[in-house]
Amino acid sequence: MRRFVGQVAFVSGAAHGIGRAAAERLAAEGAMVAVADIDTEAAADVARGLGAAAFRCDVTDRASVDSAVAEAVDRFGRLDVLVNAAGNNLGGNAGAELSDEQWGRQYDFTFTGAVRCIRAALPHLVAAPDGAVVLIGSISGMVALGTDPYAAAKAGLSNLVRNLGATHGPQGVRFNVVAPGTVATRAFAGKEQLLEDLKAIYPLGRVGRPEDVAAAVAFLASSDASWITGVTLPVEGGLTTGPGHLLR
């Protein structure tokens, strides 16, 4: 499929993991990709491999985000797709016992970071024929899996896209979330046995790959999803169907 020929996609968090896979998938389908990440060296490596361009982007810094988006638009002349994959689970299970600072750091990174990217990109997406925003959420935002601040921040993204989808739908911009389950990324480096153990909770018998999530991102960003906005799409190997497969 070549669904993004002539289009420009800005992908934050594109140097590693899900963000990198999304950048690679969009490029493979014809997009010109702005590979944006705070890890500039890794972002440059990804960009070289894709024939794309790399931009430094720290989603916790509004000026950095604004500059990265402006530079990408100046380089490519337009912006059609925003994918926000920047984010990390900063830990903390017992939310009631965590400090304001711990809560604030996670929200700033995960939720407000996405808002910063959207705010910078939105004027350009409105000008596009079919502007699309895809945020990377988490199944943790849908079911209770611990790490309270992370889960709450990811859950907030789902309500954010519902509101923004309603507000900006008349302008032709769509907003959606992809919510992955466990995905084998560098966050699990050295934890191979944990990944092996987690297979048992998934009806499809395995944990996810970054490419699984990237395929869903590409769908929601493409014209194939032109009548879809404000939704959260679980990509989680059947986890939310419940534990019935364990009882059979």
Identity at 193, one-letter amino acid code:
Q
State how far the alpha carbon of 159 is from the alpha carbons of 51, 112, 139, 163, 229, in Å. 35, 13, 14, 6, 12
Q: Phi and psi at residue 47, in whole multiples of 5°? A: -60, -40
Tokens representing 90 are 């900063």
**Topology of the domain covering 8-247:** Rossmann fold (3.40.50)
What does the pLDDT read at residue 187? 85
**Domain range annotation of the chain:** 8-247
What does the pLDDT read at residue 1? 83
Cα dihedral 181, 213, 153, 228 in deg (nearest 10) = -120
DSSP 200: G
What does the pLDDT read at residue 233? 98
d(Cα 78, Cα 126) in Å, to the nearest integer? Answer: 11
Identity at 11, one-letter amino acid code:
V
Q: What is the pLDDT along the chain (248 residues), one digit of tens a residue?
A: 899 999 999 999 999 999 999 999 999 999 999 999 999 999 999 999 999 999 999 999 999 999 999 999 999 999 999 999 998 777 666 666 788 888 899 999 999 999 999 999 999 999 999 999 999 999 999 988 878 899 999 999 999 999 999 999 999 999 999 999 999 998 888 999 999 999 999 999 999 999 999 999 999 999 999 999 999 999 999 999 887 777 77
Q: Could you confirm whether 107 is annotated as catalytic?
A: no
Cβ contact 210:187 at 8 Å:
no
Which one from 150, 175, 202, 219 is the annotated catalytic residue? 150
